[in-house]
Structure 1
Amino acid sequence: MDFSFFNQLLIIFSLSVVCIAVFHRLRISDTLAYLVVGLILGPTATGFIDSSFDISLLAEIGVVFLLFSLGLEFSLSNMLAMRRVVFGLGGLQVLISTVLIGFCGLLLGFSHAGALVMAAGLSLSSTAIVSKELSRRNEIRSDHGQLAIGTLIFQDIAAVFFLILVPAVGGFGESGLAMSLIISLAKGSLFVVFMLMIGRWVMPKIFHEIARARSEELFVLTAIVVALLAAWLTHLLSLSMALGGFVAGMMLGESHYRHQVEADIRPFRDILLGLFFVSIGLMLDLDQFLSQWHLILLASAGLILFKAVLISQLSYFVFPDRKAAIRTGLSLAQGGEFCFALVALAANNQFLSASTSSLILSVTIVSMAVTPLLIRYSETIAERLTGERKKRPTMISSADRIRQETETMDNHILICGYGRVGQAISRFLDKESLPFAVLDDDPVHVREATRASMPVFYGDCQRLELLEAAGLKRARLVAICINNSRNAHAALKKIRSVNADIPILVRTRDDAMMDTLKRDGATEVFPEVLESSLLIISHVLHLLGHNKLAVAQRIDAVRRQHYNILHGSFFGTSEALHDLDGNPQQFLHAVTLPEKAYAVGKRLSEIPLDKTGVHIQKLTRDNDSVPLCNDPSLHSDDVVLINGTPEQIEHAETVLLSGQ
């Protein structure tokens, strides 16, 4: 069996692990990490990956999954609503870019066919990079994100047109240019109609049956098959596979299963998309780059500047917001992956020489490589160019403004965080006519709340000057309702540094940082998951006929004991070792003591479990519970139920069994 493909794929993944870990530490995009992997391993650098290695199919499937995910966000009704952006902005951008770049190509001595290929390739942007970066930064739904995605949708349609046009210009093919275009347009239209009919009448029934089966594997497999089947159909029709993935996503975008589908397909998409970026890095001719680096960098800078200015101006014409227009231009200023297909097609038909093709590819790759940085700093660049700082209409962001709005407040409640819990608290306080002020760093929350005349101010709850501006020293009580436990802990420490006496209530998602928060000054900590459990428990006991007063006393006792009985849960296949904030989860683990275990014959107090950080929840002997309050001796076959993080549990189990 030939393992050469496997060996080279293993090298790619291994180096990707290292590069992504390093780039994450440096806060640099994963996209650049994959490009660097391809560059390092390429045949003109280290040569670990030879020129015969081909991962183009896997890479193209990654792009299909990416477009499939984007299609889930853009239903047919959404597309019709965006037709001015898709066909107006997108159409003008492709047309003007192609004409101007093609004219420059003719001035440089290119043939008509060669100038067309270069112009068509460079007029298109990278759907893969732009959509991935906008998704990663949660900017798909922003103004510039909508403008960019709408333009990219038209570019993908135009790419199909160019892939037909280039060979037709070359004079081969059984039909003329006009007939080729008409046939392709007809095939594309029939495909879209067919897929939308399937999506409306067939797919909902299929996914409903799959959902009833309650099989995650079946659901994931069906989503993958739908995406790949659509891509296969478009390939069969000589259209773009990526276009098939996008239409398949649109087909499911109308259903209420789209969020689950997107979540399930994401791991496959990201890994295969990484291979796509590696394949781009592999294409860079390092020898030519080193010999002509000044020309390549100059041409890349020229391309980026030209497209950024043109797209910014066109975007402003469609959507008159200068900052959004500039950010759209910066996001789409690079060359795209379709340029590689067009250049390869031109090389096969001898429209471009090998050196010219390599030069165009190098310019495209360099422009794609800097795109994550352009998108990352697009807001700062737009602010510098427009001379405007970040504007949030109806939003209060400065300490002085907050101070002016809250100067008449005294003995009020200060709420940190305006998520679901913070909003619930504020509504009750408002109904009781109790004064309160809220700090939140979500601009959408603040904008919507201020429109409703709620005293909600934009600001980071970890900044002491903003807390003091909101009247911290005059406040009666502070409620911290921040989702991220680490940020809540940081806000708590800031508040305690200036006010040691004020009551502070902290809401957390779970009990991961409960002890830390209590130690650092929280008056009470309310883990949301545990509180909801207590609510259900109280209802269960009421329905079983228990006295309401006795139930209330039992629930209060659990709270006074800091929820000890509820800490941790048994690990299962759906459990994660860390919560959403990156904190280690608390789990329950039962340790059965064999006859030769270190703990056998010793009392609990004699075993140094306190050093491990675990809590003993229960001791079972012959299926009966042994009271812990009597400091019992441990026997062989006793079962000790402990609670702690995975690391603490591992340490405690070692102590119980071997004493180390």
Structure 2
Amino acid sequence: MEFIWILFAFLCGLSAKLINLPPSIGYLLAGFILHFIGYDADDSLQTLADLGITLMLFTIGLKLNIKDLLKNEVWAGALGHTLIWIVTLVALIKLVAVIGVTQLTNLSIETTLLIAFALSFSSTVCIVKLLEEQGEMRSRHGKLSIGILVMQDVIAVIFLVAATGKIPSPWALSLLVFIPLKPLIKKIINQVGHGELIPLTGFFIAMGSYELFELLKIKGDLGALLAGMYLASHAKASEINKALMNFKDLFLIGFFLLIGFTALPTWEMLSIAAMLCLLLPFKFALFYLLLSALKIKARTAFLSSLALSNFSEFGLIVASLSVEYQWLSKEWLVILALSVSLSFILTNIIYRYSEQLFISKKLIFTRFERKKRLAEDTFVQPCNAPIVVVGMGRVGMGAYSALSKQVGSQVWGLDAERSKIDWLKSQGAQVFHGDGEDRDFWENINLVEIQLILIAVPKVQDAINITQQLKRVNFTGQIAAIARFDDERIELEAIGIDKVFNFYTEAGVGFAEESMAMIDTHQFTAEQTA
């Protein structure tokens, strides 16, 4: 990558962060500025963007459960939205064309269908980055959004096969051999250890699956996603994901820059792109009504719909393909690039105020909520258990074990990952499935019974989100949390957490105390006195 790209990406990303916007908005701006002053994107930037998307889909797969995609709210929500959106938008475009907008009046029905289809998808890159920055990837609405995005990716693959005539190779059936080979592959990954081979293993599997699927004439990105899902149950899945996180974020900068290099717009193109963005509220409303009809709670449906209310980079792929086959004029490639960019910016800005927006209009949105809830959204609070450990990872499980030895059944654990809860229950732990970042969850349990909540989640943003929800429901007990760095400790204390433990400092203190207990310390006291 040329240094000038890095310079502009850094300056614009930092500027966005300083005004409390996600750096990705700055990267988008950097791409448009570089294009405006005369720079062109080369193959290396495209390679970086492809790497970023491939790693992102692979890491998404590492956190997905195939069963989640079979839920009605996921597949029916995605498919229902796509069909209704296309029919409605085609009718709307034809209606607006009567006004005399140049770019719309000459569109054939086939071209109109392509544009509507391109705009039906939501951006995987934008939403995943947004959820990560907000610490909501593991939340109920985060998982629902990701599930819908994956189903949209499946629809995208079907379209690409149909549009290009690129029929998968007969050898694609050989991929089934990986099912019986899974135990062997897991054993091989177990030998990787915990060092530099961990990220290399992630790269190898992600890129290897991409190339294998391309060789079999299947979309390579889908291969990376399925490879991640294939390994999601492995003990090292979380470790591989963490090792790839920074690489993925770095390479995705290339993707955001690349959007700005698509083309230079005219004022007419910009106005049409802005007009298309006026459709985003309709996209939100359609998602919300569908999810509500599928018995999703009001807050979950609201946050998922708001996150999904943008246009996808896949729209650019559809547009590029359509231009190549002369189904669409080159001007529409620019218009769609602008509308995608504008939707990214709008989503990132509006979503930051999602909680405030929902609270202010809660009475309106809850009118559409179904009385009968899904099993996943119901929770039975354990009686007479005043201590809660939120987040049953390594730190949370350690805290739970220590407390259960002292107070027995007076402590219970909470985690948003159902598979982890099922496993811990099989081990005899008193743990329950629930989303600590969901205000509805805390509103539906008896907080008077709870005296102490230990927040043992790995990301500081997750701890902030949970604490904010507890404050909103007027929790009066004590809250403790963990932090890795002093600035995180200060930030957590500032929002009202009663006790913040520095992860590394407390580990050192505990290590010293446990070690000193192994020897007679009286001799050291006597020597100091002498």
Matches within 5 A, 1:53-92: 55-79=45-69, 82-92=70-80
Q: CA RMSD in A?
A: 4.4
What is the CA distance between 1:429 and its match in structure 2?
A: 8.3
Mark the CA change 1:530 to 1:194 in structure 2 (over 3 Å): closer, same or farther.
same
Aligned-pair identity (%): 21
What is the CA distance between 1:63 and its match in structure 2?
A: 0.5
Matches within 5 A, 1:386-425: 386-387=362-363
Match of 2:450 in 1: 454
Matches within 5 A, 1:293-304: 293-302=270-279, 304=280
The answer to whether residue 225 in structure 2 is matched with residue 246 in structure 1 is yes
Matches within 5 A, 1:336-415: 336-387=312-363
What is the CA distance between 1:18 and its match in structure 2?
A: 1.9
- Contact conserved, 1:125 with 1:333, CA < 8 A, in 2? yes
Aligned match for 1:208, one of 190, 194, 200? 190
Task: In structure 2, list runs of 5 or more residues that go unmatched.
Answer: 98-104, 367-376, 381-386, 411-434, 454-465
Q: Name the SS of the counterpart of 2:191 in structure 1.
A: helix
- Contact conserved, 1:538 with 1:555, CA < 8 A, in 2? no
- Contact conserved, 1:449 with 1:456, CA < 8 A, in 2? no
Match of 1:277 in 2: 256
- Contact conserved, 2:50 with 2:255, CA < 8 A, in 1? yes
Tell me, in whole angstroms, the C-alpha distance in 1 between the residues paired with 2:292 and 2:237. Answer: 32
Tell me, in whole angstroms, the C-alpha distance in 2 between the residues paired with 1:101 and 1:251. Answer: 37
- Contact conserved, 2:58 with 2:228, CA < 8 A, in 1? yes
What is the CA distance between 1:329 and its match in structure 2?
A: 1.6
What is the CA distance between 1:231 and its match in structure 2?
A: 0.6
Mark the CA change 1:192 to 1:24 in structure 2 (over 3 Å): closer, same or farther.
farther
Match of 2:14 in 1: 21
Task: Write out per-residue CA displacement over residues 29-74 of structure 1, whole angstroms, 9 at most, x where no aligned residue.
Answer: 12112111111111xx111x22666622321221110000000001
Tell me, in whole angstroms, the C-alpha distance in 2 between the residues paired with 1:68 and 1:416. Answer: 30
Task: In structure 1, list runs of 5 or more residues that go unmatched.
Answer: 1-5, 168-172, 174-179, 396-413, 434-440, 471-478, 496-503, 512-526, 542-549, 562-628, 630-660
What is the CA distance between 1:393 and its match in structure 2?
A: 10
Tell me, in whole angstroms, the C-alpha distance in 2 between the residues paired with 1:154 and 1:207. Answer: 28
Match of 1:569 in 2: none
The answer to whether residue 131 in structure 2 is matched with residue 152 in structure 1 is no
Tell me, in whole angstroms, the C-alpha distance in 1 between the residues paired with 2:302 and 2:347. Answer: 14
Match of 1:551 in 2: 521
Aligned match for 2:246, one of 262, 267, 278? 267
- Contact conserved, 1:252 with 1:258, CA < 8 A, in 2? yes
Tell me, in whole angstroms, the C-alpha distance in 2 between the residues paired with 1:296 and 1:493. Answer: 42
- Contact conserved, 2:49 with 2:251, CA < 8 A, in 1? yes
The answer to whether residue 193 in structure 2 is matched with residue 217 in structure 1 is no
Mark the CA change 1:318 to 1:194 in structure 2 (over 3 Å): closer, same or farther.
farther
Match of 2:176 in 1: 193
What is the CA distance between 1:528 and its match in structure 2?
A: 4.2
What is the CA distance between 1:194 and its match in structure 2?
A: 4.2
Mark the CA change 1:209 to 1:293 in structure 2 (over 3 Å): closer, same or farther.
closer
Q: How many residues align?
A: 459
Match of 1:35 in 2: 28
Matches within 5 A, 1:467-546: 481-484=480-483, 508-511=502-505, 527-539=506-518, 541=519
What is the CA distance between 1:130 and its match in structure 2?
A: 0.7
Q: Name the SS of the counterpart of 2:158 in structure 1.
A: helix
Task: Write out per-residue CA displacement over residues 251-305 of structure 1, whole angstroms, 9 at most, x where no aligned residue.
Answer: 111211101110111122111111111111222524x1x3443332122122x12
The answer to whether residue 82 in structure 2 is matched with residue 94 in structure 1 is yes
Aligned match for 2:109, one of 97, 100, 112? 112
What is the CA distance between 1:510 and its match in structure 2?
A: 4.8
Tell me, in whole angstroms, the C-alpha distance in 2 between the residues paired with 1:389 and 1:103. Answer: 27
Tell me, in whole angstroms, the C-alpha distance in 2 between the residues paired with 1:205 and 1:428. Answer: 34
- Contact conserved, 1:383 with 1:389, CA < 8 A, in 2? no
Q: Name the SS of the counterpart of 2:513 in structure 1.
A: helix
- Contact conserved, 2:388 with 2:452, CA < 8 A, in 1? no
Q: Name the SS of the counterpart of 1:210 in structure 2.
A: coil
The answer to whether residue 117 in structure 2 is matched with residue 126 in structure 1 is no
What is the CA distance between 1:93 and its match in structure 2?
A: 1.5
Aligned match for 2:235, one of 253, 256, 281? 256
- Contact conserved, 1:64 with 1:231, CA < 8 A, in 2? yes
Mark the CA change 1:322 to 1:61 in structure 2 (over 3 Å): closer, same or farther.
same
Tell me, in whole angstroms, the C-alpha distance in 1 between the residues paired with 2:128 and 2:110. Answer: 30
Q: Which moved more, 1:334-343 or 1:233-242?
A: 233-242
- Contact conserved, 1:483 with 1:509, CA < 8 A, in 2? yes
Mark the CA change 1:226 to 1:53 in structure 2 (over 3 Å): closer, same or farther.
closer
Amino acid at match of 1:193: L
Amino acid at match of 1:46: I
Mark the CA change 1:307 to 1:143 in structure 2 (over 3 Å): closer, same or farther.
same
Tell me, in whole angstroms, the C-alpha distance in 2 between the residues paired with 1:326 and 1:148. Answer: 11
Q: Name the SS of the counterpart of 2:322 in structure 1.
A: helix
Q: Name the SS of the counterpart of 1:305 in structure 2.
A: helix
Q: Name the SS of the counterpart of 2:61 in structure 1.
A: helix
Mark the CA change 1:238 to 1:335 in structure 2 (over 3 Å): closer, same or farther.
farther
Mark the CA change 1:185 to 1:509 in structure 2 (over 3 Å): closer, same or farther.
same
Mark the CA change 1:459 to 1:429 in structure 2 (over 3 Å): closer, same or farther.
farther
Task: Write out per-residue CA displacement over residues 136-169 of structure 1, whole angstroms, 9 at most, x where no aligned residue.
Answer: 22212222212211111111011112223334xx
Tell me, in whole angstroms, the C-alpha distance in 1 between the residues paired with 2:204 and 2:131. Answer: 26
- Contact conserved, 1:102 with 1:119, CA < 8 A, in 2? yes
Mark the CA change 1:202 to 1:34 in structure 2 (over 3 Å): closer, same or farther.
farther
Amino acid at match of 1:483: I
Q: Name the SS of the counterpart of 1:306 in structure 2.
A: helix
Q: Name the SS of the counterpart of 2:281 in structure 1.
A: helix
Q: Which moved more, 1:304-313 or 1:110-119?
A: 110-119
Select the structure that is richer in helix. 2
- Contact conserved, 2:68 with 2:74, CA < 8 A, in 1? no
What is the CA distance between 1:221 and its match in structure 2?
A: 1.6
Mark the CA change 1:320 to 1:41 in structure 2 (over 3 Å): closer, same or farther.
same
Amino acid at match of 1:140: M
Q: Name the SS of the counterpart of 1:335 in structure 2.
A: coil
Task: Write out per-residue CA displacement over residues 601-648 of structure 1, whole angstroms, 9 at most, x where no aligned residue.
Answer: xxxxxxxxxxxxxxxxxxxxxxxxxxxx9xxxxxxxxxxxxxxxxxxx
Instruction: Normalising by structure 2, report the TM-score.
Output: 0.74
- Contact conserved, 1:195 with 1:251, CA < 8 A, in 2? no
- Contact conserved, 1:75 with 1:250, CA < 8 A, in 2? yes
Mark the CA change 1:262 to 1:461 in structure 2 (over 3 Å): closer, same or farther.
closer
Higher relative contact order (CA 8 A, sep 6+): 2
Q: Name the SS of the counterpart of 2:138 in structure 1.
A: coil
Q: Name the SS of the counterpart of 1:253 in structure 2.
A: coil
What is the CA distance between 1:460 and its match in structure 2?
A: 7.2
What is the CA distance between 1:449 and its match in structure 2?
A: 9.0
Task: Write out per-residue CA displacement over residues 50-107 of structure 1, whole angstroms, 9 at most, x where no aligned residue.
Answer: 266662232122111000000000133444xx43233211111122222322344455
Tell me, in whole angstroms, the C-alpha distance in 1 between the residues paired with 2:308 and 2:289. Answer: 13
